[in-house]
Structure 1
């Protein structure tokens, strides 16, 4: 008869249980990934439009206050566009950093030989 507390058999059973749990965990579906990308795209559009609107408002207000018709309006719309693009680029860098971190995490999680070396 075999020993019921055999550590090798228990370790093998634990490995099989972990593999079964891993197979049951839901993966991110393609639709969820697409939804997240759409959210990021809308965020970038809103940032650009907000910069333009703020620049427009400031320029229009200064033109009305100082009596200079298109001067500050054109100038501040340009500033708003530049600020919106700068904000969009910052958001793109944040997204890229998140994707790189996720890819690195996924690469390390799938390498059992690396886990044994560490």
Structure 2
């Protein structure tokens, strides 16, 4: 059998392990119900901003050079492309953040 000293040491070790586990326990998550809506609005604003900036630049250059409406059309398409590119970058940023959170959650789970 085991000595009483060994049993006391095992109990003390078990208590220390439990205390450390409590200190490193993941904090409860509060789901953000607005995060998806915020992301959608962010993407819409990025697209509209690209279109608006492209329209403004094209209109201004058309007025300056007298090439109405050709530069405006070209810059609207360039603004649309820039808006889509920015939207894709935002989506990639959100995806990588979610993957990092999932990986962190997987690492925090005890094995067993």
- TM-score for the superposition, normalised by structure 2: 0.79
How far apart are the structure 1 equivalents of 2:94 and 2:10?
Answer: 44
Q: Which runs of 4+ in 1 moved over 6 A?
A: none
- Residue by residue over 1:10-35, the C-alpha shift from the partner in whole angstroms, topping out at 9 and shown as x without a partner, is 22223434555638x4x2223x2x22
2:15 pairs with 13, 16, 28, which one?
Answer: 13
The DSSP-based 3-state class of the residue aligned with 1:28 is: coil
Shift of 1:49: 1.0
Give the SS at the match of 2:97.
Answer: helix
Name the structure where helix makes up a greater proportion of residues: 1
1:56-71 equivalence runs, <5 A:
56-71=55-70
Residue 90 (structure 1) shift: 0.9
Q: Give the TM-score normalised by the residue count of structure 1.
A: 0.76
Deviation of 1:7 (Å): 3.3
Gapped runs of 5+ residues in structure 2?
Answer: none
Alignment partners' CA distance in 1, 2:47 and 2:16: 52
Unpaired runs of at least 5, structure 1:
114-118
The total of aligned residue pairs comes to 106
